[in-house]
Structure 1
Amino acid sequence: MKKSIVWALALCLVFALSACGKKEEAAAPAPAPSNGAATGAGSAASADLKLVASNFKFDQAEYKVKKGQDIKVSLENKEGMHGVEIKGLNVKLDGNTKSATFKAEKEGTYDIICTIPCGSGHINMKSKLIVES
């Protein structure tokens, strides 16, 4: 009896840790500037924001965009399976939704979190979006 419980727990642990296993994307989003900032000339009306996720981290601690811009945010999973939520802006990306568009109407700092449990470092997988004037 104890042996089967141990095997069941071990199997559950393997499944939980494999949630961050590698998965190749069929088509990667278009490259963005290396600093993750929104692109455009002067006070452009729209910008692209690319979030690159690997195991337990995003490629940047913070991303900056300009207030008033329409932002197209995309998610690239470099390593593991991840989803993204930008708290306070109603932006959610998961395994099926790779990009979304929103308007950065209010200045401030917004939390970016991983929404797909990806292993032991999942709880610390955070970044910031800063909307500045």
Structure 2
Amino acid sequence: MKKLIILMMGLAIVIAITACGNKDSKSSESTTTPAASTDAAAGQQIVLKATNYKYDQSEYHVKKGQPVTITLDNSQGIHGAAIKEFNINLSNGKKSVTFTPDKAGSFPINCSIMCGAGHADMKTTLIVE
């Protein structure tokens, strides 16, 4: 029984350590498209590009009362994105969500999947103006 528990703990540690370090994931390409944009037909669009222990920007700006679609792009490793104040959690296959922010302020976005040693530092901010 003890051997099984030790084996399971070792497997869990290996998975946690390697989740963010997936070297086979697609490489990210820089584009001229802004991370947050407004299109009259589609509303506001944000693409959160997640790499090992960071998002591509320190903050994303949107307008209060206007629909916004947030899409998670894992360009390196396995990550999620959670915005507690708006009950949003992009993980486990859910890559996109559309909502209308009803309050202004700064709201933290945190990685919602334990992705390794730098997980606690994987943060960005949604600023609703």
Structure 2 vs 1, CA of residues 127 and 47 (structure 1 numbering), >3 Å: closer, same or farther? same
The residue aligned with 1:38 is 37
The residue aligned with 1:128 is 125
Question: Which SS does the other structure have where 2:85 is aligned?
Answer: coil
Structure 2 vs 1, CA of residues 18 and 105 (structure 1 numbering), >3 Å: closer, same or farther? same
Out of 75, 80, 84, which is 2:81 matched to? 84
Out of 93, 98, 110, which is 1:96 matched to? 93
Q: Hey, what's the Cα distance between the residues in 2 that align with 1:125 and 1:87?
A: 15
Q: Hey, what's the Cα distance between the residues in 2 that align with 1:80 and 1:50?
A: 16
Q: Hey, what's the Cα distance between the residues in 2 that align with 1:118 and 1:45?
A: 32
Aligned pair count reads 120
Out of 67, 70, 73, which is 1:70 matched to? 67
With the length of structure 2 as denominator, give the TM-score of the two structures: 0.79
Instruction: State the identity %.
Output: 43
Give the letter aligned to residue 33 of structure 2: P
The residue aligned with 1:28 is none
Question: Which SS does the other structure have where 2:38 is aligned?
Answer: coil
Structure 2 vs 1, CA of residues 67 and 128 (structure 1 numbering), >3 Å: closer, same or farther? same
Alpha-carbon RMSD across the aligned residues, in angstroms, is 2.6
Residue 58 of structure 2 corresponds to residue 56 of structure 1: no
- Cα deviation for residue 18 of structure 1 reads 1.5
Q: 5+ residue gaps in structure 2?
A: none
Q: Hey, what's the Cα distance between the residues in 2 that align with 1:15 and 1:45?
A: 38
Q: 5+ residue gaps in structure 1?
A: 26-30
> Is the contact between residue 61 and residue 128 of structure 1 (CA under 8 Å) also seen in structure 2?
yes
Question: Which SS does the other structure have where 1:88 is aligned?
Answer: helix
Give the letter aligned to residue 131 of structure 1: V
Q: Hey, what's the Cα distance between the residues in 2 that align with 1:77 and 1:54?
A: 6
Structure 2 vs 1, CA of residues 59 and 87 (structure 1 numbering), >3 Å: closer, same or farther? same
The residue aligned with 1:108 is 105
- Cα deviation for residue 32 of structure 1 reads 8.1
Q: Hey, what's the Cα distance between the residues in 1 that align with 2:88 and 2:21?
A: 24
